[in-house]
Each structure stands twice: as C-alpha cells, then as structure tokens.
C-alpha cells in the first residue's frame, strides 16, 4: 500500500477494492458519475454502440445494465434503456421518433399524461395527434404521414383490452412504428414481441417499472425495450444526448424486487379476480370492468393474446348515475384499507375516482354513464378488501 504524506490524500486514495470473487444473492451496487479509465487507450478505443464500454454514469454502470438486461429478458426483447420514470420513458420514445409533420395515433384510453405530452408536441412542433378506439381496429386509419401508434393493453383506467393483433398487423402493413405501454402486462401476462406464437410483434415496449417491478410504491423508473438494434441505437442516442439516467440505489432496489415480481403479480391478479367476482353482484354498480370478465369490452382480445390466462391487479367499477360526485367522494373517503392515491403494483391497495366525460374524445358506447372508481389491488387478503368496500358502500345507504 502506498502512503502519502497527508491523511487528507490517504483517506481518498486508500485501497478500497472489494475482493473480486465473492458470490452474493444480490449483485454489487455501483454508484457512478465518473468511471475511471485504466489508460488513455481505454478512453480512446471505446465505442458508443458498445453498452459495456463504461464511460460515464449517465451511460450506465453494471448495476443499471443488469436491471436493463433483466427487463429486456422478462419482456421478450433484446435491448433496454432505463429512464427516471415511466413517463420519461414514454417521452424518450416520442422525442426519438416523432418529427414535425408526423402523425401519431393514440388509443382513446391511453395513459393520460402521454396524451398531454403529445398534445404539447402537437402545438409546439406540428405533430398531429389522432385518436383511435382500441377495441375497433377500423378506427385506426393510417396515412403516409403516420409515424407511430401507441398501444396499451389493457387501458389503465377503463381496462379495455385492445384488438392488439389487428392493430399491429395494420400498422405493419402501413409501415407505422408500434409502441406498446406494457405496464399492465409487465412482460408476464403476454409476450409483446411474439403474440401467441404467431411471430406478430410490436416494435417497442415501454414499461413503468414504478409499478410491478418496483412493487414497493416507493421508486420511480421506466424502461424502453426493443428487439431491433437500429431502433435501439436511435433511442440510445436520444437517451445519451438528453442526459436521461437513473440512480444506482433505485436500480438496485428494483433489481431486488424482481425476484418476487411474478409471485406478487399472480397473487394480485388472483385477489383482483376474487374482488371482481364479488363486485359484479353489487347493486350499486352499473358496470364492472376487467379484461378477464366476459362482459368487459375487449375480453375476446384478452383471451386471444393473454394465453397465459393472466391479468393484473386492477379492477374498475362504474357507479349507477344516481350516485353523484358527493356520494363517490364519500365512498372513497370511507375506505380504510384502500388508500386514495395514484399508481399501482405496491403492497397497499389503492383507489382512485374518475369522471370519464372529461377523459375521452370518442363516443364510447361500451361504457355506461356514471362515475368510475378504480381499485388497484395490493397484497392484503382479498376477503379483507371486500369487507372494506362493503363497509364503505353501507355509508351510501
Ligand atoms: C404509471 C404509468 C405510467 C407512468 O409511470 P411513472 O413512473 O409514474 O411516470 C405509464 N403508463 C402506465 C400505463 C402507467 O400506469
């Protein structure tokens, strides 16, 4: 060990390498802005397309590449980039591929902030936003200006499962880039890069890792996955030039939660089905929405694509019109186990209320009139959750 003349220097340059050959359950955690090059040859010989040519924190560390590789594998893709939130992953795709004069197609039930972001681009950059009905592939009418279509399966509030196969086929024929928000399926309910072994695939998936991969309701992150190297390079350049990066600590937390993601997903799906079974018999609701429920719009498309039989832990109800906003607020405020908050995928069940009239552009004949409440199922026992809803409904009598 070299010593210097001053403790000030020794404290910084003391040997600090962990032994190389220790095997642990979790991989070691790297935190980096600076990455040290061994020699100038390492500095000058690196190439931006080689992801493992570590050069600077924003371009990734073994910690971020480990998680990225795992997410790509879970979703059936090859390349993955991480972003600080699901919405920033969405934004990355839009800014990498849309140019002024392009048309972008979005489902009427799209994740709201994506539409808001696109409308902002529309106003400032002359990008035209076109809305289609996810359960009617005929409503998607691509033109030669159409660049990209956003798909979401299922829609995260009204839970329609889209006519994915026909929408993707149509987009491919028209040379339109297909991007799926894969947060609901989480790579577990179906493989977006190979639908039911038909070799029909989307080009890109976006995933709010904030939800099931994090599983804690405490970490924000997003991912963009593709199988196509050229698309990946385009995304990677935008990722690098915009300085999009994630914290090593957050990444390690999500990596740790991945181990039990499929078990949590399965339990949360099962609990949602138990709730669905009970909710559909309650007289206060005019409609119960869940892709595995035959009365729900898009159920046949779910059957077609989700051959695993899996569905996430979300279920929505539409209250009969006689329940006004005051009643719905009273219902939400009376819940005890269900907490009022956005997001899903964590241990605590959540509830959120929506007025669809303010959220949809198209006429949705498959949705009844009335205020909507979405339940996001956590890891509590489903019987306790049902009891909680039952108690809150009694407050409305
Ligand atoms: C939550 C969510 C997002 C955005 O993720 P954030 O990490 O919260 O920004 C995107 N799409 C869907 C479907 C989501 O549920």
* pLDDT value of residue 108: 94
Which of 71, 82, 86 is the pocket-test mutation for ligand 1 (most atoms within 8 Å of CB)?
86
Q: How many helices (H) and strands (E) does the chain have?
A: 12, 12
The Cα–Cα gap between 79 and 75 comes to: 10
The Cα–Cα gap between 274 and 381 comes to: 10
> How confident is the model over 325-334, as a mean pLDDT?
97
In this predicted structure, the answer to whether residue 22 has a pLDDT above a threshold of 90 is no
Beta carbon of 109 within 6 Å of any ligand 1 atom? no
Beta carbon of 213 within 6 Å of any ligand 1 atom? no
In this predicted structure, the answer to whether residue 17 has a pLDDT above a threshold of 80 is no
Q: What does the pLDDT look like over 60-85, one tens digit per residue?
A: 999 999 999 999 999 999 999 999 99
The Cα–Cα gap between 370 and 285 comes to: 9
CA dihedral in degrees (13, 18, 21, 23; nearest 10)?
Answer: -160
Q: What does the pLDDT look like over 273-318, one tens digit per residue?
A: 999 999 999 999 999 999 999 999 999 999 999 998 999 999 999 9
Task: Name the pTM for this structure.
Answer: 0.95
Of residues 53 and 350, the one with the higher pLDDT is 350
In this predicted structure, the answer to whether residue 176 has a pLDDT above a threshold of 90 is yes
What's the whole-number average pLDDT of the chain? Answer: 94
In this predicted structure, the answer to whether residue 15 has a pLDDT above a threshold of 80 is no
Cis peptide before 202 (omega within 30 of 0): no
In this predicted structure, the answer to whether residue 197 has a pLDDT above a threshold of 90 is no
In this predicted structure, the answer to whether residue 2 has a pLDDT above a threshold of 70 is no
40-255 shares its CATH topology with 260-394? no
Per-domain boundaries in the chain: 40-255, 260-394
Say what percent of the chain tops pLDDT 90: 82
Q: What does the pLDDT look like over 198-220, one tens digit per residue?
A: 779 999 999 999 999 999 999 99
* Least confidently predicted of 4-13, 141-150, 172-181, 255-264: 4-13
Q: How far is the CA of 118 from the centre of ligand 1 (A)?
A: 15
Q: Which of 149, 200, 157, 107 is nearest to 291 (CA)?
A: 157
The Cα–Cα gap between 166 and 301 comes to: 10
Beta carbon of 86 within 6 Å of any ligand 1 atom? yes
Nearest atom in ligand 1 to 210's CA: 7
Q: Whose CA is nearest to atom 8 of ligand 1?
A: 86
Determine contact, residues 139/133, Cβ cutoff 8 Å: yes
Beta carbon of 222 within 6 Å of any ligand 1 atom? yes
Q: How far is the CA of 208 from the centre of ligand 1 (A)?
A: 5
* pLDDT value of residue 12: 82
Q: Which of 131, 87, 93 is nearest to 109 (CA)?
A: 131
In this predicted structure, the answer to whether residue 129 has a pLDDT above a threshold of 90 is yes
Q: Which fold has domain 260-394?
A: 3.90.1150
Q: How far is the CA of 41 from the centre of ligand 1 (A)?
A: 42
* pLDDT value of residue 1: 52
Question: At the top level of CATH, which class does the domain 40-255 belong to?
Answer: alpha beta
Beta carbon of 117 within 6 Å of any ligand 1 atom? no
Which of 156, 268, 346 is the pocket-test mutation for ligand 1 (most atoms within 8 Å of CB)?
156
Which of 71, 87, 89, 219 is the pocket-test mutation for ligand 1 (most atoms within 8 Å of CB)?
87
* Least confidently predicted of 72-76, 119-123, 338-342: 119-123
């Amino acid at each position: 060990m070299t010593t210097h003349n001053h403790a000030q220097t020794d404290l910084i340059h003391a040997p600090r390498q962990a032994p190389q050959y220790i095997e642990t359950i979790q991989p070691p955690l790297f935190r980096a802005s600076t990455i040290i090059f061994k020699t100038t040859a390492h500095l000058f010989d690196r190439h931006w397309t080689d992801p493992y040519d570590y050069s600077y924190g924003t371009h990734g560390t073994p910690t971020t590449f480990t998680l990225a590789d795992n997410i790509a594998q879970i979703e059936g893709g090859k390349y993955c980039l991480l972003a600080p939130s699901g919405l920033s992953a969405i934004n990355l795709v839009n800014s990498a591929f849309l140019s002024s004069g392009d048309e972008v197609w979005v489902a009427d039930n799209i994740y709201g902030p994506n539409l808001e972001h696109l409308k902002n681009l529309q106003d400032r950059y002359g990008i035209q936003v076109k809305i289609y009905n996810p359960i009617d592939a005929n409503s998607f009418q691509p033109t030669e200006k159409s660049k990209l279509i956003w798909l979401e399966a299922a829609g995260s509030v009204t839970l329609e499962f889209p006519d994915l196969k026909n929408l993707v086929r149509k987009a491919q024929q028209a040379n339109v880039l297909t991007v799926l928000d894969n947060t609901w399926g989480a790579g577990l309910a179906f493989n977006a890069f190979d639908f039911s072994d038909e070799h029909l695939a989307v080009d890109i998936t976006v995933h709010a890792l904030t939800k099931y991969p994090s599983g804690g309701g405490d970490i924000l992150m997003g991912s963009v996955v593709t199988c196509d190297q050229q698309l990946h390079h385009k995304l990677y350049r935008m990722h690098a030039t915009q300085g999009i990066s994630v914290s090593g600590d957050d990444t390690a937390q999500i990596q740790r939660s991945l181990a039990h993601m499929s078990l949590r997903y399965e339990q949360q799906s099962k609990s949602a089905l138990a709730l669905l079974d009970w909710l559909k018999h309650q007289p206060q609701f005019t409609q119960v929405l869940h892709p595995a429920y035959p009365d729900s719009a898009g159920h046949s498309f779910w059957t077609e694509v989700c051959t695993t039989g899996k569905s996430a832990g979300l279920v929505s109800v539409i209250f009969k019109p006689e329940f006004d906003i005051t009643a719905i607020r009273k219902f939400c405020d009376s819940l005890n186990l269900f907490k009022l908050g956005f997001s899903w995928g964590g241990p605590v069940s959540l509830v959120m209320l929506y007025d669809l009239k303010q959220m949809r552009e198209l006429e949705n004949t498959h949705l009844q009139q009335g205020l909507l409440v979405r339940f996001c199922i956590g890891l509590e026992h489903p019987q306790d959750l049902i009891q909680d809803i039952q108690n809150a409904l009694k407050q409305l009598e």
